[in-house]
Amino acid sequence: MPPPPSSEIISRGLTGCCPKCGTRGLFRHWFRLHESCNKCGLSLGKEDGFYLGTTSIGYVLAIIVVLIPVCFLVVTDVIGVWLGVSIGIFGSLVLVAAIYPAMLCALITVYYLFRPQELVDSQNDSSD
Ligand SMILES: [Zn+2]
């Protein structure tokens, strides 16, 4: 059985569904995926890179969306330094926490978009 087409992998991944079978419910909780898909058994927990990549993207987004604008406001004397520091710390944490599942979905999508052969049942590709 061939892997799903790229458009299917993208639409499933970006909506939080299993990229292999399309089942919803990949998340154990807000910050963690299940070890595997409940329906098809696609392994999700083995890829620690999903979490490392999410953290890296979170840092970059926090710099672009929160820290640079706050620095601009502090430099132009719109807000004080300590208010800027407080907003920078709190805003970065809230931003990363709020979008964490979306970043995980995006990383899963990109991962399986470039490795669709991993979505094929292991019984069928015994040549590897
Ligand atoms: Zn599945």
Distance 85 CA to ligand 1 centre (A): 43
Q: 127 pLDDT band (50/70/90 cuts)?
A: very low
What confidence tens digit (pLDDT) does each residue in 27-80 have? 999 988 898 899 999 888 666 677 778 888 999 999 999 999 999 999 999 999
Report pLDDT for 128. 43
CA atoms within 13 A on the CB side of 61: 18
- State pTM to two decimals: 0.78
Distance 62 CA to ligand 1 centre (A): 32
Flag whether pLDDT at 102 surpasses 60.
yes
Structural domain count, the chain: 1
Residue-range definition of the domain harbouring residue 50: 6-127
Examine residue 45 and state whether it is found in any structural domain, yes or no. Answer: yes
Examine residue 110 and state whether it is found in any structural domain, yes or no. Answer: yes
Examine residue 1 and state whether it is found in any structural domain, yes or no. Answer: no
Examine residue 39 and state whether it is found in any structural domain, yes or no. Answer: yes
Examine residue 95 and state whether it is found in any structural domain, yes or no. Answer: yes
More confident residue, 85 or 43: 85
Nearest to 50 by CA among 64, 62, 32: 32
Spatial distance between the Cα atoms of 81 and 69, rounded to a whole number of angstroms:
13
Examine residue 114 and state whether it is found in any structural domain, yes or no. Answer: yes
Distance 17 CA to ligand 1 centre (A): 8
Distance 47 CA to ligand 1 centre (A): 15
